[in-house]
Amino acid sequence: MIGGTAGEGVDLPGHLFAKLCMHAGLRLHGNGEFYSVIKGYNNIFQIRVSENPVHCLLNKFDLVLALDEETTDRYLSDIVPGGGVIYDPEVAKLKKQNDIKLFPIPLREIAKEKVGLDLAKNVVGIGAVIGLLDYPIDILRDLLIKTFAKKGNEIVDKNIAAAQAGYDFARQKFGRDFNYVLKSIADAPKTFMANGNQVISMGAIKAGCKFVSEYPMTPSSSILHTMAKHARDYNVSVNHVEDELSAINMAIGAGFAGARSMAATSGGGFALMTEAVGLAGMVEVPVVIVEVQRPGPSTGLPTRSGQGDLRQVMHASQGDFPKIVLSPGNHEEAFYMAFEAFNLAEIYQCPVILLTEKYLGEGSVNLPFLDTSELKVNRGKLLPDNKIPKNFKRFADTASGISPRTVPGQKRGAHTASSYEHREDGYFTEEIDDCNKIHERRMRKMETLEHVLPPVKLEGQKDADVTLVCWGATYGPAYEAMSWLKRNGVSANLLHVKYLLPLQPGIGEVLEKTKHPILVEGNISAQLGGLIAEKVGIEIQDKVLDYSGRPFTPDAIAEGVIKLIK
Amino acid sequence: MPKTIKDFTDPTGKPNWCPGCGNFGIETALKQAMVNLDLDPNNVCLVSGIGCGANSPYWFSTYGLITLHGRPIPVATGVKLGNHELNVITWSGDGDAYGIGMGHFIHGMRRNANLVYIVGDNTVYGLTKGQASPTAKKGTITPSTPFGTPDPGINPLALALSVDCSFVARGYAGDLPHLTKLLEEAIKHKGFSFVDILQPCVTYAKAQSYDFYQDKTYNLAEFGHDVTKKDAALKKAFENGKKFPIGIFYKKDREVYEDTQPQFAEGPLAHQDISNVDILPLFEQYSF
Ligand SMILES: Cc1ncc(C[n+]2csc(CCOP(=O)(O)OP(=O)(O)O)c2C)c(N)n1
Ligand code: SF4
Ligand SMILES: [Mg+2]
C-alpha cells in the first residue's frame, strides 16, 4: 500500500508497482481511496498481488510505502506480522516494532539530492520497494522510459535516477532484510490492466458503440475519458456536453438515428436523466446508461463506493415501461455485460442500465486477453431496407411485444415516435383500447426477456451453513469470504444476482434449499433484500450491510457473518 | 416529378391547432421550403419538444420524434450526429426553448451542429393554457401572473448573437412567402440555424395578434441590413417592441460540430459496420 498526502502523488508509484507485478506474470487488484479534494488529505493506493486471480482487496498490508506521517499513524496497525513499512524519518518518527520491519529511508532528501525535486520522493520510494523485494531494477527502468517517453529525455532521466537512488539505498542499508520477494512466473499468460470503467468502455467499443455523450461525474468520468481517448481509433463520437439532461437526450437521439449509444454517470447525474429514461422507454429507442454508484444521498461521498442506487435506477421515471438493469460482479463480467447491454438495448428497444460502483469502476485488475470469439452483435428487429413492408407500422402489436424498427433515412420506414401515448402507426391516441393495447405490448417485452434470462447460479459447496446473497462488485469480497469462513469452521456458498430488472429467475428455488441466507449489500436499507422479498416472497432476515463508502473486504464479511450465527 | 406539399404531409390526421393559430403558417412554410429544396422526406427528421407547435411531427410524412419539454436540441443533435446525412429540423415553443430548455439553447448554438432550430414565439405557454412564456413583456397578465409578470421578457436574438450563433433570424408566421424563403436559407446554412418565429396565439395571447404584428414587422433585407455585421444585428435585435424586423440578422461561416470529429468522415455513424470490431489492439495497449 502506498499512502501520502493528496498532491504528493500516490497514483504514480501505485501504477508503476502494478505494472511491474503484471510484468512478473502475477495477477493483481488495485484501488485508490481518495478524499474528494485535490490537495491536503491522506490518500492511499492499495495493490494486492497473487499468482492466482485476485478477487478483492484486503485491509491488511504486507508492505507500506508511507509518503506522509498520517499514513503511518493510520495504517501501521494494519501491517501483518513480518510485514514492513518504508517511511521517511524526516516525516514520521517510528518506535521499534516487535513484529514489523521498519525501513527508514530519507526519501525527500534523496529526491532533492539526486534530481533536485522533493516531489520525486514517490519514485525514490518505488525504487526502494523494488530493492527490498529483490526485483530487477532494469524492468522498472524500462517502465519509466515507457511512462515518461512523451515528456522528454530530461524527465525520463530524472525519474530513472530517483528510482535507482531509492533502489541502491534500500539494497545497501537493508540488503535482504525483508521476507518477501517479487518473482517472475514463467509462461504466465499476457495480461492487460484496466479499471472497471475502462473494461466497460472496451466492452462498449467491442459492441459497436458509436456515440457517447457524458457530463463528468466522479466516479464515472473515466468512461468519458477512456472513450474519448480511443474515439478516433474506433470511430466513436464522444461528446462532453452541457449537463446530464443533454447527455441522455443526445444518446437517445443517436440511438433513434441507428447508432449504438451510451451515456455514463453516477447517481446524481442519473437523477437528472430520469425523465429521459422514460422517453427512451416510450419511443422505444435503444440506449445504454452506465451508472457508477457512489454513496448518496445528494452529493454524498463523491470519491467513495456504495450500492445505494439500485432502487433509483429500477424505478427511474414515471409510469411503467420496459427497462433493464444489470450489474456485473467483477471486471471480466463487466466487459461481457457491457457488450450484452448493447444487444439487449437493441433487441428489446429500451433503456438498459449497467449499474456498477466506484469499487469496480475505479478499481483496477489485470486480466488475460478476453475471449471475444463468441460475442455476436445482435440488432434485434432493426429492418434491413429490403424488408420494410409497404404499410410499415413502427409500433406494431406482436406476440413478443417487440415491434419491427426502422431508422431515419430508410425508405418506407418513416414514422413519428412520440413521447405521448400512441397507436401502432405512431399517431397519438387517447382511446382506451388503443392505449391499453400498446401499454400491454410494451410491457410484454419484459416477459419475453424474463423467459430467456439465465437463472441464478449457486457458487461454492452445495449444502452450506450459510448462503451469502449479493449483487454487483460485492461479489469479489463475498466470494473470498467463503474461504475465510471456512477457516473459521463455517461453510458458505454464494448467490450473486446479475440481472436486477427483470429480476433474474431461480432465486426462490435456490433460497428455498439453503439453510441460512445472509444478505451482503453496500447500502443501509438492503435494497436487493427488499426486491427479493417483493418478487420472490422470501424475506432474508440476516444482513451484513456496509454503507461506509469503503469497499467490502472478505474478512469483514466473514466477521459479520460469524456474529450473526453465533 | 416535382414534389408538392402533399409529399411532406402525413395523411393520417390534420393539425389540431386552434383555427387561426400561427403554427399553421409555420407548418406550411416549412413544408414549402422542403418542396423548394427538393428534400427527400425519408431523409428528414423533425424533432420537437412538448407544446402546441411541438405536435407538428404528426402531420409531416418525414421521420419525426416528439421528445420532452425542453429537450429537443440535445435529441436533435444526437440524431444529427448519429446520421449526419439527415436533414434535422428542430421545432420548439418559446417555453421549450427559452424556459426549461434554455441551457441547451445556449450550448446548442455554441456547438454549432448543422441543424435547424425553429422556435414558435407566441409569448405564452399555449399547451398548458396560456401562462406567460419567457418572451412575455414585463407586466403581462396571465393565469400564472394575475398581477403581471414581474420579470422582463428575454431577448432571444440578442442572446443568440452573444454566443456567436452562426445563423440568427426572425420570421413571422403571418408572412408565408418571406418565412418560406427564410426557412430555405436556414436549411441550406451549414451550422446551427436559429429562427425565432413571431407566432400569433389567437387563444391566449390576444395582444400579440396578426393585427399587432402586421404593420410592425418589416423585412431587414429591404433596408440594406448587412448580415455579416454583428453590431448592426445586435442593434436590430434590440429594436423589439415598436418594430419587429424580420429576416436574417446575422450569418457567419463557422466550423460545424461534425467537422471537429474525423469520426464522421467514413460516413454516418449509424451506417458504420459494427459486426466485428477488433478489440485486440486495445488489450495490447493496456498490457505492459
Ligand atoms: C418537465 C415538464 N414540465 C412541464 C410540462 C408541462 N408543459 C407542457 S407544454 C408546456 C409549455 C409549452 O409552452 P411553449 O413551449 O411555449 O409551447 P406552446 O404550447 O406555446 O407552443 C408545459 C409547461 C411538461 N410537459 N414537462
Ligand atoms: S393555444 Fe395558441 S398556440 Fe396553441 S394551438 Fe391554440 S392558438 Fe395555437
Ligand atoms: Mg409558447
Dist. CA A192–CA A187, nearest whole Å:
15
In three-state secondary structure terms, A306 is coil
- C-alpha B122 – ligand 3 centre gap (Å): 5
Chain B's closest residue to A212, CA to CA, is B78
Set of chain B residues whose Cβ sits within 8 Å of the Cβ of A194: 286
**Per-residue pLDDT reduced to its tens digit, B184-202:** 999 999 999 999 999 999 9
Q: Which of A210, A377, A411 sits opposite B269 (nearest CB)?
A: A210
Residue B108 cell numbers, joined: 446548442
Q: Which residues contact A525 (CB under 8 A, 6 or more apart)?
A: A308
Dist. CA A300–CA A292, nearest whole Å:
14
What is the pLDDT of chain B when averaged over all its residues?
Answer: 97
Question: What DSSP character marks residue A422?
Answer: B
Instruction: Please indicate whether, in this complex, the C-beta atoms of B82 and A211 are within 8 angstroms of each other.
Output: yes
Dist. CA A472–CA A57, nearest whole Å:
15
- C-alpha B208 – ligand 2 centre gap (Å): 12
Q: Which of B44, B62, B286 sits opposite A194 (nearest CB)?
A: B286
Q: Kindly list the distances between the CA atom of residue A538 and the CA atoms of A153, A510, A518, B27, in Å, as whole numbers in the listed order.
A: 64, 11, 12, 58
Chain B's closest residue to A370, CA to CA, is B283
Q: Which residues contact B231 (CB under 8 A, 6 or more apart)?
A: none
Q: Is the pLDDT of residue B2 over 80?
A: yes
Instruction: Please indicate whether, in this complex, the C-beta atoms of A279 and B68 are within 8 angstroms of each other.
Output: yes
- C-alpha B102 – ligand 1 centre gap (Å): 13
Question: ∠B79-B160-B126 over CA atoms, to 5°?
Answer: 70
Q: Is A241 on the interface with B (CB under 8 A)?
A: yes
The residue to which cell 442519473 is assigned: A270
Residue A478 cell numbers, joined: 463475498
For chain A, the C-alpha Rg in angstroms (whole number) is 26
Q: Which ligand is nearest to the CA of B203?
A: 2
Q: Which residues of A548-562 are buried (b: 16+ CB within 10 A; e: fewer)?
A: ebbbbbbbbbbbbbe
Q: How many CB pairs under 8 A join A and B?
A: 220
Ligand 2 pocket check: which of B121, B135, B203 to mutate, most ligand atoms within 8 Å of Cβ? Answer: B203
- C-alpha B51 – ligand 1 centre gap (Å): 5
Set of chain A residues whose Cβ sits within 8 Å of the Cβ of B281: 233
Instruction: Please indicate whether, in this complex, the C-beta atoms of B75 and A253 are within 8 angstroms of each other.
Output: yes
Q: Is the pLDDT of residue B1 over 90?
A: no
Chain A's closest residue to B285, CA to CA, is A192
Question: Would you say A471 and A327 are in contact if contact means Cβ atoms under 8 Å apart?
Answer: yes
Dist. CA B113–CA B192, nearest whole Å:
5
For chain B, the C-alpha Rg in angstroms (whole number) is 20
Residue type for position A285: V
Give the residue among B51, B46, B36 at the shortest CA–CA distance from B5.
B36
**Which domains does chain A show, CATH number per domain?**
2-174 (3.40.920.10), 195-365 (3.40.50.970), 381-452 (no CATH), 458-565 (3.40.50.920)
Set of chain B residues whose Cβ sits within 8 Å of the Cβ of A22: 287-288
Ligand 1 pocket check: which of B90, B125, B197 to mutate, most ligand atoms within 8 Å of Cβ? Answer: B125
Mean pLDDT, residues B12-27:
98
Residue B180 cell numbers, joined: 418560406
Chain A's closest residue to B260, CA to CA, is A237
Give the residue among A196, A210, A553 at the shortest CA–CA distance from B264.
A210
| Whole-number pLDDT of residue A176 | 87
Set of chain B residues whose Cβ sits within 8 Å of the Cβ of A419: 50, 66-68
Q: Of all protein residues, whose CA lies closest to atom 2 belonging to ligand 2?
A: B201
What distance in Å separates residue A182's CA from the closest CA in chain B?
Answer: 16
**Which domains does chain B show, CATH number per domain?**
5-286 (3.40.50.970)
pTM value surpassing 0.90: yes
What distance in Å separates residue A347's CA from the closest CA in chain B?
Answer: 15
Q: A465: exposed, middle or buried (C-beta count within 10 Å: 0-12, 13-18, 19+)? A: middle
Give B246's strand partners.
Answer: B219
Q: At what angle do helices A221-230 and A196-206 cross, to 10 degrees?
A: 50
pLDDT in tens, chain A (566 residues): 999 998 888 889 999 999 999 999 999 999 988 877 666 788 999 999 999 999 999 999 999 999 999 999 999 999 999 999 999 999 999 998 889 999 999 999 999 999 999 999 999 999 999 999 999 999 999 999 999 999 999 999 999 999 999 999 999 999 888 999 999 999 999 999 999 999 999 999 999 999 999 999 999 999 999 999 999 999 999 999 999 999 999 999 999 999 999 999 999 999 999 999 999 999 999 999 999 999 999 999 999 999 999 999 999 999 999 999 999 999 999 999 999 999 999 999 999 999 999 999 999 999 999 999 999 999 999 999 999 999 999 999 999 999 999 999 999 999 999 999 999 999 999 999 999 999 999 999 999 999 999 999 999 999 999 999 999 999 999 999 999 999 999 999 999 999 999 999 999 999 999 999 999 999 999 999 999 999 999 999 999 999 999 999 999 999 999 999 98
Strand order in the sheet with B217-219: A416-418, B63-66, B44-48, B87-93, B116-121, B193-198, B167-172, B244-251, B217-219
Dist. CA B52–CA B23, nearest whole Å:
8
Dist. CA B131–CA B122, nearest whole Å:
11
| Whole-number pLDDT of residue A129 | 97
Q: Which residues of A369-391 are buried (b: 16+ CB within 10 A; e: fewer)?
A: bbebeebebebebbbeeeeeeee
